[in-house]
Amino acid sequence: MNHFVSMKNLSEHEMLQLIKLTNDFEINGIPHFNEKIFAANLFFEPSTRTKMSFVVAQKKLGIETLDFHAEASSLLKGESMYDTAKTFEAIGAQLLVVRHPEDHAVQELAKRMTIPVINAGDGSGEHPTQSLLDLYTMYQEFQSFKGLNVVIIGDIKHSRVARSNAYALKTLGANVYLSTKKEWQDETLDFPYIDIDDAVAISDVVMLLRVQLERHQDNELLNDAAYLEQYGLTKKREQNMLRHAIIMHPAPVNRGVEIDSDLVESKRSRIFKQMENGVVARMAIIYHLFQTRGIGHATAFNKRK
C-alpha cells in the first residue's frame, strides 16, 4: 500500500491488518517517531473531524503538522492542487493528507506524487479513513463482519462514506443494504435497496448519512420534518431495531433531518465513539504507510495514549 486513497481495491487481509493495528494501538499504546517528520494537511474543502483528528493523530505519533489554509494560500493566485502538493513535497513534507471537492481528485494526485498520499475525502468519491474508523467501531461491537447486516440510509448518491463503506463491508463478508428515496439511489453501487422500515428491523448496524445539499445540482429545498418521517431514523423506527443493533453516522449530523436529535446521544448511538476512533484509526493508517515506505523509525509503543 503506497497511498491510502480507496477502500475499493483493498483486500480483506489488508483491511483486517489495519483494523488489528488500530486495535493494537488502542490496547497496547502507540509508537513514536523521534526524528523530525513533517506531514501536510491539504484541505480544499471544509472539515472539522477529519482534519482535527489527523492533527491529533500526527501529534501523538511525534509528527510535525504543516497546516494549510486554502483561503489564505497561493491557490488564490491560480496555483493548482498539484503544484500546491509538489510545493509541500519540495519543502520537506513526507506525507500529504488531502481533501478535495472533486471525485477522484485525490486518487489522480496520488498517482503523480512520490510521497504517500491519504485521501481525506474526495467529492462524492471515497472517504477511506472514515471507512476504517467505521469498520473499527463495528469490530469493537461485533468482532467479525461475516454475515453482519448493515444498512446505509440517506443521501447515497452524493456520499463518499456510503461508497467506501459499501465496498469495504462487502469485501469483509457483511450483507450491505441501501435505503433512500428513488432520486438519491446510485446505480453504480451494486447493492440491494430496501425500505427503511424493513431495513431497521433486520440490521445489526443502522448507518445514517448526512443530506449533502451542497452537492445537489437541483437546488432542492428539503422539508426537514417530512424527510425525517419518511426516510430518517425516528424514535418509532428506533424501537423496531434489533436489541443489540447500533446507530452510526459519520457526522456532521443534521439533527432532526436524517435522525431524531434525541437519538444522537442515545444508548445505541456510536456517533461520538466513531469520532474518538478516528484518531487511533488515522494513526494506524499513517504508521502502516510509513512502515511500508520505510519512512522514519518509531520507538517502542507508548502506553500513554
- Residue 10 is a binding residue for ligand CP (CB under 6 A): no
Sign of CA dihedral 274, 192, 243, 226: positive
Phi, psi (5° rounding) for residue 73? -110, 180
Contact range with ligand CP by CB under 6 A, out of 44-52, 104-112, 222-230, 260-268:
44-52
User: How many angstroms separate the CA atoms of 160 and 114, rounded?
Assistant: 25
- Residue 152 is a binding residue for ligand CP (CB under 6 A): no
What is the pattern of x (binds ligand CP, CB under 6 A) and - over residues 74-113?
A: ----------------------------------------
- Residue 17 is a binding residue for ligand CP (CB under 6 A): no
Q: How far apart are the first and last CA of the chain?
A: 26
210: annotated binding-site residue? yes
Q: Which is nearer to ligand CP, 173 or 252 (CB)?
A: 252
Other residues' Cβ atoms within 10 Å of the Cβ of residue 217: 6
- Residue 121 is a binding residue for ligand CP (CB under 6 A): yes
User: How many angstroms separate the CA atoms of 124 and 101, rounded?
Assistant: 8
3-state SS, one letter per residue, for 168-224: HHHHCCCEEEEECCHHHCCCCCCCCECCHHHHHHHCCEEEECCCCHHHCCCCCCCCH
Q: Which is nearer to ligand CP, 49 or 273 (CB)?
A: 49
- Residue 49 is a binding residue for ligand CP (CB under 6 A): yes
- Residue 50 is a binding residue for ligand CP (CB under 6 A): yes
Binding-site sequence positions: 49-50, 77, 99, 127, 130, 160, 210, 251-252
Residues that bind ligand CP (CB under 6 A): 47-51, 121, 130, 250-252
